[in-house]
Amino acid sequence: MSTRIAIFVSGGGSNARVMIDRFQAHPEDGVEVVLLVSNKATAGALTVAAERGVPSLVVKRSEWTAGTELLEALEAYSVDFIVLAGFLWLIPAYLVQAYPNRIVNIHPALLPQYGGKGMYGHHVHAAVKAAGETESGITIHYVNENYDEGNIIYQAAVRLDADDTPEKIAERVLRLEHANYWRVVRQLVQRGLRPQQ
Ligand SMILES: Nc1nc2c(c(=O)[nH]1)N[C@@H](CN(C=O)c1ccc(C(=O)N[C@@H](CCC(=O)O)C(=O)O)cc1)CN2
Ligand SMILES: NCC(=O)N[C@@H]1O[C@H](COP(=O)([O-])[O-])[C@@H](O)[C@H]1O
Protein backbone atom coordinates (compact mmCIF):
# COMPACT_ATOMS: atom_id res chain seq x y z
CA MET A 1 0.00 0.00 0.00
CA SER A 2 1.77 3.19 -1.17
CA THR A 3 1.73 6.55 0.55
CA ARG A 4 -0.16 8.96 -1.70
CA ILE A 5 1.45 12.39 -2.06
CA ALA A 6 0.38 15.68 -3.63
CA ILE A 7 3.06 18.08 -4.87
CA PHE A 8 2.32 21.84 -4.70
CA VAL A 9 4.13 23.97 -7.31
CA SER A 10 4.12 27.47 -8.80
CA GLY A 11 6.85 27.31 -11.44
CA GLY A 12 8.78 25.08 -13.80
CA GLY A 13 8.53 22.02 -11.59
CA SER A 14 11.99 20.48 -11.95
CA ASN A 15 11.76 19.11 -8.39
CA ALA A 16 8.30 17.72 -9.15
CA ARG A 17 9.66 16.12 -12.33
CA VAL A 18 12.53 14.44 -10.50
CA MET A 19 10.19 13.20 -7.76
CA ILE A 20 7.49 11.89 -10.15
CA ASP A 21 10.06 10.17 -12.37
CA ARG A 22 11.78 8.54 -9.38
CA PHE A 23 8.64 7.21 -7.73
CA GLN A 24 7.04 6.05 -10.99
CA ALA A 25 10.22 4.11 -11.84
CA HIS A 26 10.58 2.64 -8.31
CA PRO A 27 7.21 1.41 -6.99
CA GLU A 28 9.18 -0.43 -4.30
CA ASP A 29 9.76 2.99 -2.67
CA GLY A 30 6.10 2.90 -1.59
CA VAL A 31 5.38 6.49 -2.69
CA GLU A 32 2.87 7.50 -5.36
CA VAL A 33 2.43 11.07 -6.67
CA VAL A 34 -1.35 11.21 -7.16
CA LEU A 35 -1.95 14.95 -7.64
CA LEU A 36 -0.17 18.14 -8.61
CA VAL A 37 -1.58 21.42 -7.23
CA SER A 38 -0.61 24.81 -8.61
CA ASN A 39 -1.67 28.40 -8.03
CA LYS A 40 -0.60 29.35 -11.57
CA ALA A 41 -2.39 28.06 -14.68
CA THR A 42 0.80 28.83 -16.64
CA ALA A 43 3.13 26.80 -14.42
CA GLY A 44 5.45 24.59 -16.47
CA ALA A 45 4.98 21.92 -13.81
CA LEU A 46 1.44 21.35 -15.15
CA THR A 47 2.92 20.14 -18.44
CA VAL A 48 5.40 17.96 -16.53
CA ALA A 49 2.49 16.31 -14.68
CA ALA A 50 0.32 15.88 -17.81
CA GLU A 51 3.20 14.23 -19.68
CA ARG A 52 3.48 11.72 -16.82
CA GLY A 53 -0.22 11.04 -16.36
CA VAL A 54 -0.45 12.83 -13.01
CA PRO A 55 -3.74 14.71 -12.47
CA SER A 56 -3.45 18.39 -11.59
CA LEU A 57 -5.54 21.08 -9.99
CA VAL A 58 -5.14 24.86 -10.38
CA VAL A 59 -6.38 26.79 -7.36
CA LYS A 60 -7.60 30.38 -7.51
CA ARG A 61 -6.94 32.80 -4.65
CA SER A 62 -10.65 32.84 -3.69
CA GLU A 63 -10.75 29.02 -3.48
CA TRP A 64 -7.43 29.03 -1.62
CA THR A 65 -8.81 31.26 1.09
CA ALA A 66 -12.06 29.30 1.42
CA GLY A 67 -10.28 25.97 1.24
CA THR A 68 -13.34 23.82 0.59
CA GLU A 69 -12.51 22.83 -2.99
CA LEU A 70 -8.88 22.09 -2.16
CA LEU A 71 -9.69 19.95 0.87
CA GLU A 72 -12.33 18.08 -1.18
CA ALA A 73 -9.80 17.41 -3.94
CA LEU A 74 -7.16 16.18 -1.50
CA GLU A 75 -9.75 13.85 0.05
CA ALA A 76 -10.99 12.68 -3.37
CA TYR A 77 -7.44 11.63 -4.24
CA SER A 78 -6.87 10.19 -0.73
CA VAL A 79 -3.76 12.32 -0.32
CA ASP A 80 -1.70 11.28 2.73
CA PHE A 81 1.19 13.74 2.51
CA ILE A 82 1.88 17.12 0.88
CA VAL A 83 5.21 18.15 -0.66
CA LEU A 84 5.83 21.82 -1.49
CA ALA A 85 8.27 22.31 -4.38
CA GLY A 86 8.61 25.94 -5.39
CA PHE A 87 5.11 26.79 -4.17
CA LEU A 88 4.85 30.54 -3.53
CA TRP A 89 1.73 31.04 -1.43
CA LEU A 90 1.44 30.76 2.34
CA ILE A 91 -0.13 27.43 3.36
CA PRO A 92 -3.06 28.51 5.54
CA ALA A 93 -3.82 27.23 9.01
CA TYR A 94 -6.77 25.11 7.79
CA LEU A 95 -4.44 23.02 5.63
CA VAL A 96 -1.63 22.79 8.19
CA GLN A 97 -4.20 21.57 10.71
CA ALA A 98 -5.72 19.09 8.25
CA TYR A 99 -2.26 17.60 7.60
CA PRO A 100 -0.41 17.77 10.94
CA ASN A 101 3.29 16.90 10.49
CA ARG A 102 2.45 15.82 6.93
CA ILE A 103 3.43 18.85 4.88
CA VAL A 104 7.10 19.46 3.99
CA ASN A 105 8.89 22.16 2.02
CA ILE A 106 12.29 22.62 0.44
CA HIS A 107 13.96 26.00 0.83
CA PRO A 108 16.96 26.93 -1.35
CA ALA A 109 19.14 28.19 1.50
CA LEU A 110 20.45 27.17 4.93
CA LEU A 111 17.62 28.26 7.26
CA PRO A 112 17.13 30.05 9.56
CA GLN A 113 19.12 32.46 7.39
CA TYR A 114 17.64 33.78 4.16
CA GLY A 115 14.07 32.69 4.86
CA GLY A 116 10.69 34.28 5.43
CA LYS A 117 8.33 36.46 3.40
CA GLY A 118 9.92 37.67 0.17
CA MET A 119 12.64 35.02 0.27
CA TYR A 120 11.95 32.81 -2.72
CA GLY A 121 13.68 31.91 -5.97
CA HIS A 122 16.19 34.45 -7.23
CA HIS A 123 15.64 36.70 -4.21
CA VAL A 124 17.26 34.08 -1.97
CA HIS A 125 20.37 33.60 -4.10
CA ALA A 126 20.79 37.36 -4.65
CA ALA A 127 20.74 37.89 -0.87
CA VAL A 128 23.29 35.10 -0.33
CA LYS A 129 25.54 36.67 -2.98
CA ALA A 130 25.14 40.17 -1.54
CA ALA A 131 26.14 38.88 1.87
CA GLY A 132 29.34 37.40 0.43
CA GLU A 133 28.56 33.93 1.77
CA THR A 134 31.12 31.20 1.02
CA GLU A 135 28.46 28.50 1.13
CA SER A 136 24.75 28.02 0.57
CA GLY A 137 22.55 24.94 0.47
CA ILE A 138 19.11 23.45 1.02
CA THR A 139 16.76 23.03 3.94
CA ILE A 140 13.92 20.49 4.01
CA HIS A 141 11.51 21.22 6.83
CA TYR A 142 8.03 20.59 8.15
CA VAL A 143 5.53 23.32 7.33
CA ASN A 144 3.77 25.28 10.07
CA GLU A 145 1.60 28.40 9.80
CA ASN A 146 4.55 30.70 9.15
CA TYR A 147 7.04 30.85 6.27
CA ASP A 148 10.17 28.73 6.81
CA GLU A 149 9.79 28.28 10.58
CA GLY A 150 8.83 24.58 10.76
CA ASN A 151 11.16 22.00 12.30
CA ILE A 152 14.15 21.25 10.11
CA ILE A 153 14.37 17.70 8.77
CA TYR A 154 17.49 17.85 6.60
CA GLN A 155 20.11 20.34 5.40
CA ALA A 156 22.95 20.07 2.89
CA ALA A 157 25.54 22.71 2.02
CA VAL A 158 27.51 23.56 -1.09
CA ARG A 159 30.63 25.72 -1.26
CA LEU A 160 30.45 28.85 -3.40
CA ASP A 161 33.15 30.44 -5.52
CA ALA A 162 33.77 34.17 -5.01
CA ASP A 163 32.80 34.90 -8.62
CA ASP A 164 29.56 32.88 -8.53
CA THR A 165 26.58 34.89 -9.76
CA PRO A 166 23.13 34.40 -8.16
CA GLU A 167 22.27 32.29 -11.22
CA LYS A 168 25.31 30.04 -10.61
CA ILE A 169 24.38 29.75 -6.94
CA ALA A 170 20.84 28.77 -7.98
CA GLU A 171 22.28 26.08 -10.28
CA ARG A 172 24.48 24.65 -7.51
CA VAL A 173 21.61 24.63 -5.03
CA LEU A 174 19.07 23.12 -7.46
CA ARG A 175 21.46 20.23 -8.10
CA LEU A 176 21.42 19.53 -4.34
CA GLU A 177 17.62 19.71 -4.33
CA HIS A 178 17.27 17.16 -7.12
CA ALA A 179 19.68 14.78 -5.41
CA ASN A 180 18.08 14.92 -1.97
CA TYR A 181 14.38 15.92 -1.88
CA TRP A 182 12.96 12.66 -3.26
CA ARG A 183 15.24 10.67 -0.97
CA VAL A 184 14.19 12.57 2.17
CA VAL A 185 10.48 12.23 1.26
CA ARG A 186 10.98 8.47 0.77
CA GLN A 187 12.74 8.25 4.16
CA LEU A 188 9.88 10.11 5.90
CA VAL A 189 7.32 7.81 4.28
CA GLN A 190 9.26 4.67 5.14
CA ARG A 191 9.64 5.82 8.75
CA GLY A 192 5.85 6.10 8.88
CA LEU A 193 5.73 9.90 8.71
CA ARG A 194 7.08 10.16 12.26
CA PRO A 195 5.68 13.30 13.96
CA GLN A 196 7.85 16.38 14.25
CA GLN A 197 10.78 15.80 16.62
N1 LIG B 1 2.63 28.04 5.99
C2 LIG B 1 3.68 27.95 5.17
N3 LIG B 1 3.52 28.14 3.85
C4 LIG B 1 4.58 28.03 2.98
C5 LIG B 1 5.87 27.76 3.49
C6 LIG B 1 6.02 27.57 4.90
O7 LIG B 1 7.13 27.28 5.41
N8 LIG B 1 4.91 27.67 5.70
N9 LIG B 1 6.96 27.71 2.62
C10 LIG B 1 6.76 28.39 1.34
C11 LIG B 1 7.91 28.26 0.39
N12 LIG B 1 8.79 29.42 0.59
C13 LIG B 1 10.07 29.20 1.05
O14 LIG B 1 10.57 28.07 1.15
C15 LIG B 1 8.31 30.73 0.35
C16 LIG B 1 7.52 30.95 -0.77
C17 LIG B 1 7.03 32.24 -1.02
C18 LIG B 1 7.33 33.30 -0.16
C19 LIG B 1 6.77 34.65 -0.42
O20 LIG B 1 7.25 35.64 0.10
N21 LIG B 1 5.70 34.70 -1.24
C22 LIG B 1 5.10 35.99 -1.63
C23 LIG B 1 4.11 35.79 -2.79
C24 LIG B 1 4.87 35.42 -4.07
C25 LIG B 1 3.93 35.22 -5.24
O26 LIG B 1 2.69 35.12 -5.03
O27 LIG B 1 4.46 35.15 -6.38
C28 LIG B 1 4.32 36.61 -0.47
O29 LIG B 1 3.82 35.88 0.41
O30 LIG B 1 4.19 37.84 -0.52
C31 LIG B 1 8.13 33.08 0.93
C32 LIG B 1 8.65 31.80 1.19
C33 LIG B 1 5.45 27.98 0.69
N34 LIG B 1 4.37 28.18 1.64
N1 LIG C 1 11.17 29.77 -0.88
C2 LIG C 1 10.64 28.83 -1.82
C3 LIG C 1 11.60 28.66 -2.98
O4 LIG C 1 12.33 29.59 -3.33
N5 LIG C 1 11.59 27.47 -3.57
C6 LIG C 1 12.50 27.18 -4.64
O7 LIG C 1 11.84 27.34 -5.89
C8 LIG C 1 12.54 26.52 -6.84
C9 LIG C 1 11.51 25.73 -7.60
O10 LIG C 1 12.16 25.12 -8.68
P11 LIG C 1 11.36 24.01 -9.54
O12 LIG C 1 10.01 24.61 -9.88
O13 LIG C 1 12.24 23.81 -10.74
O14 LIG C 1 11.23 22.78 -8.66
C15 LIG C 1 13.48 25.60 -6.04
O16 LIG C 1 14.81 26.08 -6.10
C17 LIG C 1 12.95 25.73 -4.63
O18 LIG C 1 13.94 25.55 -3.62
Output the pLDDT for position 67: 85
pLDDT in tens, 130-182: 999 999 999 999 999 999 999 999 999 999 999 999 999 999 999 999 999 99
Q: Is 145 in the pocket of ligand 1 (CB under 6 A)?
A: yes
The reported pLDDT for the residue numbered 197 is: 44
- Sign for the CA dihedral angle at 84, 94, 36, 32 comes to positive
Residue nearest to atom 7 of ligand 2 (CA): 86
Mutate to test the pocket of ligand 2, among 47, 114, 117, 120 (most ligand atoms within 8 A of CB): 120
Output the pTM of the full model.
0.97
Q: How far apart are CA 84 and CA 174, in angstroms?
A: 15
28 to each of 1, 13, 39, 133, how far by Cα in Å? 10, 24, 31, 40
Yes or no: say if 103 and 95 are a contact pair by the CB < 8 Å rule: yes
Q: For residue 153, give the nearest of 114, 115, 188 by alpha carbon.
A: 188
Ligand 1, residues 90, 102, 110: which to mutate, most atoms within 8 A of Cβ? 90
Structure confidence by residue, pLDDT tens digits, 30-44: 999 999 999 999 999
CB 11, CB 43: distance < 8 Å? yes
Find, among 82, 167, 156, the residue nearest to 121 by Cα. Answer: 167
Q: Tell me which fold the domain 3-108+139-148+177-190 belongs to.
A: Rossmann fold (3.40.50)
Give 107 Cα–ligand 2 centroid separation in angstroms.
7
CA distance 41 to 143: 24
Give the mean pLDDT of the chain. Answer: 96
ipTM of the complex: 0.98
Average pLDDT estimate for 177-197: 85
**Which pLDDT belongs to residue 142?**
98
Ligand 2 atom at shortest distance from the alpha carbon of 17: 14
